[in-house]
């Protein structure tokens, strides 16, 4: 580990980007679509996020459209089909999902299900020759994520992770500042993300189920991890994590709150908290000659902040679901223009390696755990 301490962190990020670009060259050239086409998207899972954000966002997009529905709850279909005019031939259950291979109206499946279904649905979609957009976290662990990347590459389709923040202008500015370093060397970061999503009735119940990928780290911790990575432009070397779950009668087998500390090259440290028991939404980067922050940094709208020199980062995209529309438009353009998406599957795998190590550390009472390298 000693040699890594002095290695510029951008080397690893560039490696991820190069892998994605190489995959683009190998995988998609025979499947180039006409640039004036609108990408047909099938939403897989018709819960809150699809119903209240993605479907309305698709109506705002310029390069894609809602073309299909996949659900395990057929009682939801009449309302959806009536609202969006989806014909029966473009409607699927999880049992007959494989038939989507025969539907030329659908180019992409957007997986918006509980986390344990991400891998099997992504593999099925890739085998059907459909591009895959997958909500975060990308999978239950890094091994599952790697299998998804391989399947999409082998089947010559794109895989993009639904990290909407990486399409938000203020966040993209922070990503650029990781390289520019306008306030000098980065010293430390703070990233906190939490909410009470598990209270959302049936839509939130799975977030308390360990078998389906429940818990704060999966749902909100990836915001902290991804922010720490894009704000430094580096990959973390090790993690210490502490499970601070207080209500064991509610959170049975899943984490309510986890506090974790990421070690980066150049002696940079990120202190993070993720929780299902607190509202948390702050990102701050402390540097040699000042600081900059966003709060909220991962909201659906109104992400804003300031810097120590008086710089203001005003909200950019407008009211929800404008951010989701921007994300899907950018991912659709990546397909239409035959290039890697902004957030390829390799990016999701990198975060899952940190999640895996954080869970191992928390289980060991905060023991320092090295993070696996790709």
Kindly compute the dihedral angle of the four CA atoms of residues 331, 64, 172, 10, in this order, to the nearest 10 degrees.
Answer: 10
C-alpha 289/C-alpha 187 separation (Å) is 10
What is the average pLDDT value for the chain, to the nearest integer?
92
Quote the pLDDT of residue 26: 44
Rounded percentage of the chain residues whose pLDDT exceeds 70: 90
| 165-317+352-370 fold | Dihydrodipicolinate Reductase; domain 2 (3.30.360)
Strand partners, 53: none
pTM: 0.91
pLDDT (mean) for 329-335: 98
Is-contact 259 242, C-beta < 8 A?
Answer: yes
Beta bridge partners, 137, equal: none
pLDDT for the residue 30: 37
Region 327-350: mean pLDDT is: 98
- The number of helices, as runs of H, and strands, as runs of E, in the chain is 12, 15
Rounded CA gap, 148 and 161, in Å? Answer: 11
Q: Cα(287)–Cα(182) distance, rounded to whole angstroms?
A: 9
Report the distance separating Cα 97 and Cα 124, nearest Å: 8
**% of residues, the chain, pLDDT over 90:** 87
Is the pLDDT at 178 greater than 70, yes or no? yes
Tens of pLDDT, residue by residue over 119-174, are: 999 999 999 999 999 999 999 999 999 999 999 999 999 999 999 999 999 999 99
Q: What is d(CA 325, CA 176) in angstroms, rounded to the nearest whole number?
A: 22
- Which residues contact residue 185 at a Cβ distance below 8 angstroms, ignoring those fewer than 6 apart? 266, 287, 288
Q: How far is CA 203 from CA 79, 137, 338, in A?
A: 17, 17, 35
* Per-residue confidence (pLDDT) for residue 13, from 0 to 100: 53
Q: Do domains 12-164+326-343 and 165-317+352-370 have the same CATH topology?
A: no
Q: Which two tokens stand for residue 179?
A: 């390289």
As a whole number, mean pLDDT of residues 348-364 equals 98
Domain segments of the chain: what residues?
Answer: 12-164+326-343, 165-317+352-370
pLDDT digits (tens, 9 = 90+) for 219-235: 999 999 999 999 999 99
Confidence of residue 11 (pLDDT cuts 50, 70, 90): very low
Give per-residue pLDDT as tens, 303-318: 999 999 999 999 999 9
Q: Is the model's pLDDT at 327 over the cut of 70?
A: yes
Q: Of 301, 326, 333, 332, give the one whose Cα is nearest residue 314.
A: 301
CA distance 271 to 126: 37
pLDDT value of position 374: 78
| 259-305 residue pLDDT tens | 999 999 999 999 999 999 999 999 999 999 999 999 999 999 999 99
- Using a 10 angstrom Cβ sphere, with 0-12 exposed, 13-18 middle and 19 or more buried, the burial of residue 320 is middle
Residue 20: predicted pLDDT? 53
pLDDT digits (tens, 9 = 90+) for 93-126: 999 999 999 999 999 999 999 999 999 999 999 9
307/220 Cα distance (integer angstroms): 25
Q: Note the pLDDT of residue 19.
A: 54
| pLDDT value for 250 | 92
Strand 280-287 and strand 186-194: the pairing is antiparallel
Would you call 64 exposed, middle or buried from its count of C-beta atoms within 10 A (0-12, 13-18, 19+)? buried
Residues in the chain: 374
Distance CA 26, CA 29 (A): 7
Top-level class of domain 12-164+326-343: alpha beta
Q: Is the pLDDT of residue 27 over 50?
A: no
């Amino acid at each position: 580990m000693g040699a890594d301490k002095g290695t510029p962190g951008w080397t690893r990020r560039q490696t991820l980007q190069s892998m994605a670009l190489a995959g683009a060259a190998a995988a998609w050239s025979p499947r180039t679509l006409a640039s004036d086409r609108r990408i047909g998207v099938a939403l897989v899972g018709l819960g809150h996020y699809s119903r209240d954000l993605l479907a309305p966002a698709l109506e705002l997009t310029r390069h894609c459209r809602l073309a299909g529905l996949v659900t395990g709850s057929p009682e939801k279909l009449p309302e959806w089909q009536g609202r969006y005019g989806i014909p029966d031939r473009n409607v699927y259950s999880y049992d007959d999902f494989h038939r989507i291979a025969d539907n030329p109206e659908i180019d992409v499946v957007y997986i918006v299900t509980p986390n344990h279904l991400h891998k099997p649905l992504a593999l099925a979609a890739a085998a059907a020759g459909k591009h895959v957009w997958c909500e975060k976290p990308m999978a239950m662990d890094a091994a599952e994520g790697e299998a998804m990347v391989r399947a999409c590459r082998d089947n010559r389709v794109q895989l993009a992770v639904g990290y909407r923040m990486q399409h938000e202008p203020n966040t993209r500015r922070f990503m650029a500042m990781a390289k520019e370093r306008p306030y000098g060397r980065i010293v430390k970061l703070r990233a906190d993300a939490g909410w009470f999503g598990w209270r959302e009735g049936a839509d939130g119940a799975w977030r308390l189920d360990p078998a389906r990928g429940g818990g704060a780290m999966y749902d909100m911790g990836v915001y902290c991890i991804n922010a720490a990575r894009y704000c430094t432009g580096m990959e973390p070397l090790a993690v210490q994590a502490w499970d601070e779950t207080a209500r064991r009668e509610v959170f049975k087998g899943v984490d309510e709150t986890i506090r974790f500390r990421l070690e980066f090259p150049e002696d940079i440290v990120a202190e993070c908290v993720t929780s299902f028991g607190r509202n948390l939404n702050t990102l701050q980067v402390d540097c040699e000659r000042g600081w900059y922050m966003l709060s909220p940094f991962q909201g659906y709208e109104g992400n804003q902040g300031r810097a120590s020199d008086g710089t203001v980062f005003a909200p950019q995209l407008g009211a929800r679901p404008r951010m989701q529309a921007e994300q899907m438009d950018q991912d659709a353009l990546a397909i239409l223009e035959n290039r890697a998406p902004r957030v390829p599957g390799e990016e999701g795998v990198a975060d899952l390696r940190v999640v895996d190590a954080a869970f191992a550390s928390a289980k060991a009472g905060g023991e320092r755990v090295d993070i696996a390298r790709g």
